[in-house]
Amino acid sequence: MQFHDYRTHYQICKHRNPREPLVSQGPEEFYRQYLKGLELRSRSMFGAKLQDYDPFSPLLMQAELDWHTALRPYYNLWPSIIPALTGLKLDADASHFKLPLDHLLIRFPVRDNPLTWTDKQGLVRTVRVVLAENVNLHSGKGEPGKPRLVFQNGDNEFPVKRGMAFWIDGGETIEVDPTKPHDTAGHLQSLMYKHLVCDEGKTIEWSFDHIPAHPSSDFGLHYPDQIVRDVARIVCTLCLMAEDKELVEPIVLKADEDKWDKSHDPSLVEKAKRRGNYGFNVGRDVEVVPHVRSACPAALYWTGQGRKIPRIRFRRGSVVHRKRLASVPTGFFDKE
């Protein structure tokens, strides 16, 4: 099974010019200098601070840096599980939602991905990856690199709220390497940003109803509201199923797969991480029978003492233990 990947600004620069001095200094220095350059450009061309003219670039640069620092963890979302997650009714309190890892890339399958739509030019678009993170949302203008929280009714009584932010890659290219126009690995993509408030007493739908869209959403690739809500639902359901070892399975190096199947030795997972491959398969063993697709195999259950802890579980017979039907790419994420 092949999954889409995401290349950060640091990786794209490194790919285009491996001898670039700034790249050799590592991601932290790269992003510091990159943002400094964007700030100078904003003041020179628009006479405004970057935060005022373009609040999203500092957020994305910080998200990419944090992801690099976290060893670039990722989830491979298998096709069979996607309709089950988007079909769930999430009426749990938003305070229960928190990503299992503070910075996480969700990779969607290249084929059989139901999250597709047709844009205004008649091109078929698909959700390729989602870069998600746990964040603190700051009201008002906030600080560069800090997500801002703006309510529809202007209520900014609390300076900081806990939330989740995510960036959606729908395949919109905004910059192509002029020296290698056919090299897709050197293309820079435009992403769509969204955040959710994880406040007690609120639902996920509350964020869609009370946080207004940024004016920039009218430009570039248009993401249908249903697609964005489906992505949000997937991000939230992943929060409630991270501890289910049948659904979320660590990826080991291909040479170690047989050993892992027999022993589930955690040292094999650590070995993969040391080699730059920090990933998990989600829903690889979920079986969906074509003629009963309308019956969602997943459900929201309340567990723990007093049944106060929500968890996503799959009904018996949905998860099968079988030999892999497709090999999983185990590329090296950090040591490229």
Of 35-39, 153-157, 210-214, 295-299, which range is least confident?
A: 153-157
Q: What is the pLDDT of residue 139?
A: 67
In what helix (H) or strand (E) does residue 267 lie, and over which residues does it extend? helix 266-274
In which residue are the tokens 């185990």 written?
Answer: 330
Is the predicted pLDDT of residue 102 greater than 90, yes or no?
A: yes
Of residues 226 and 321, more confidence is placed in 226
CA distance 197 to 112: 31
Task: Tell me which long-range contacts 320-325 makes (C-beta under 8 A, separation of at least 24).
Answer: 320/285, 320/287, 321/285, 322/285, 324/257, 324/284
Phi, psi values for residue 310, rounded to 5°: -80, 140
* C-alpha closest to that of 195 among 211, 184, 183, 173: 211
So what's the pLDDT on residue 33?
93
Tokens of residue 304, six digits: 């723990």
SS3 category, 316: coil
pLDDT at 303: 77
The yes-or-no verdict on residue 292 having pLDDT over 80 is no
Three-state secondary structure call for residue 332: coil
How do residues 199-237 score in pLDDT, each as one tens digit? 888 888 888 887 777 777 778 899 999 999 999 999 999
pLDDT value at residue 291: 38
Three-class secondary structure of residue 43 per DSSP:
helix
Neighbours of 333 (CB within 10 A): 21
Supply the pLDDT for residue 268: 94
Q: How confident is the model at residue 245 (pLDDT cuts 50, 70, 90)?
A: confident
Residue 267 has pLDDT above 60, yes or no: yes
Higher pLDDT, 223 or 335: 223
As a whole number, the mean pLDDT across the chain is: 83
Tokens of residue 227, six digits: 């697609």
| Half-sphere exposure of residue 101: CA atoms within 13 angstroms, side-chain side | 20
